[in-house]
A and B are shown apart, each in its own frame.
Chain A
Amino acid sequence: MRPAAEMKDFRRDLVSLLPKLRRFAMTLTRNANDADDLVQEVCERAISRSHLWNGESRLESWIYAMTRNLWVDEVRKRKVRGTGGMVDIYDQDTLNVEATAEKAVYANQLQEMILSMPEGLASVFLLVNVEGHSYREAATILGIPIGTVMSRLSTARLRLAAMLSEDTERRA
């Protein structure tokens, strides 16, 4: 069991990480509700296993890897359950986002565009390009070879460039 002060620090760090953790979860689930459920589950697990955290590497890398593992388990369970009427998240062509009157707002369009990229691209792009993880760190977090990180990253960049071009034309 961790000393109370250390536990408090751990909880504080975890709270600070929540917006980024939710963003990472969104790239995995591509669905806000699933992302929130996943974040909650990860936080519960992280607190219960905080004694395993050695504090030597980045907390977010440890938490992100846990998040990815939990999501892989969840996808597997859904497949076993036959999805219970739900569409496998990775079989979706489009993002499962509730329609709202504000859906057309630009910021949300950007989010939709990002999350509608094929499986795996957004996570790699987020980790390397946005959050500055090395290829090796991203590969470890996502449980994929470095070569896959490299190819997904270049694909993500080219897709985003295409989106930018479409977006610029649409807004012109």
Chain B
Amino acid sequence: MQQTKGLALEVRLSAYIDGELGEAERSELDALLARDDDARRLLDKLRAGSAFGNRAFEDFLHDPVPLALVRQIKQGPGINPKLERVTTSNLPKRSVRILPRLVAASVGLVLAGGIAGFILGSTTNFVDPVIETAASPWINEIADYHRIYSRQKAHLVEVPAAQAGEIERWLTSSVGVPFKVPDLARKGLAFVGARLLVANGKPVAQLVYRDQEGEIFAICFLRGGDGAGTAELSETIRGDLGFVSWQKEGASFVFVGPSSAAELQDLAQTVAAVI
């Protein structure tokens, strides 16, 4: 606890707001606030400033960070984030901001020959990963589901992998998207089972996989989607999770895993090809 006696009243009231005062000082200020209109007005002003600042600082989190820096952290050194730097923090909307960044990042990829290997051999055009906090609503819901379900030890799935045939019949009829459970064993992922989720008010199939280190990955898909996606695979990162999404034959797909998984796009490409 802090001692603020003798300090300016705004400093004392500021510490009062933060709960940094001892009981005696707190009681003293409570009494002052009960009898002094000016003190109350000052407290209201400090609180208003706090609330205003909180809102303004929240907006900073919507600025994408340099794309290649994420890769450098995930995969180790060898690429120069400055080649892919895109600073568009002044642009107002995510939809406006992302596009020029992606274009610039693509140019950076071409320039940085060393990075080309990352996408060479791919038959699908990837869009570079973007850190963001808001995008397709159904993917936002998937993110919430994944964060909760991936921590479940005993009840990770509704229907276990041993009933793969049943999973295919059940989820195809429930979701309306015909599919085969992709075998990703050669990619180091073991199929654990499936769940039926709900997003955008629609049923969503979730196929759950686990890697050798216990990390959980999932393929999620629904009929239609929010219409925001394309056949092109695009990667986004939201905090600890990475998402590669695409659309195919009237269905929307997303492959979810830890954002630190460098192989996320490669895995998603495999899934997109076989599911």
Interface residues of A (CB under 8 A from B): 5, 8-9, 11-16, 18-20, 22-23, 26, 32-33, 36-37, 39-40, 43-44, 47, 97-98, 100, 102-103, 105-108, 110-111, 113-114, 125-126, 128-130, 134-135, 146, 150-151, 153-164, 167
Contact = CB atoms under 8 A, between A and B. Distances in A.
A111 B56 contact: yes
B18 A163 contact: no
Contact of A15 (B20, B52, B60, B73): B73
Contacts of B63: 19, 22-23, 32
Contact of B90 (A23, A44, A97, A151): A97
Interface stretch (B4-12, B116-124, B164-172): B4-12
A59 B52 CA distance: 27
Which of A11, A23, A44 gathers most chain B CB within 10 Å? Answer: A11
Given A8-B260, A15-B73, A150 B2 contact: yes
A2 B239 CA distance: 23
Interface stretch (B64-72, B102-110, B154-162, B189-197): B64-72
Q: How large is the interface on B (under 10, 10 to 19, 20 to 34, 35 or more residues)?
A: 35 or more
Interface of B: 2, 4, 7-8, 10-11, 13-15, 18, 20, 45-46, 48-50, 52-63, 65-66, 69-70, 72-74, 77, 81-82, 85, 87, 89-92, 96, 131, 133, 213, 237, 239-240, 258-260
Contacts of B213: 5, 8
B131 A18 contact: yes
Contacts, number: 169
Contacts of A160: 48-50, 52-53, 56
14 contacts: A19-B133, A23-B61, A23-B63, A32-B90, A36-B69, A102-B90, A107-B92, A108-B90, A108-B92, A110-B55, A125-B57, A151-B8, A157-B46, A164-B49
B258 A154 contact: no
Contacts of A125: 53, 57
Contacts of B58: 130
Given A40-B69, A129-B50, 6 more contacts: A5-B213, A32-B87, A105-B91, A108-B90, A157-B53, A160-B48
B49 A40 contact: no
A156 B53 CA distance: 9
A66 B85 CA distance: 22
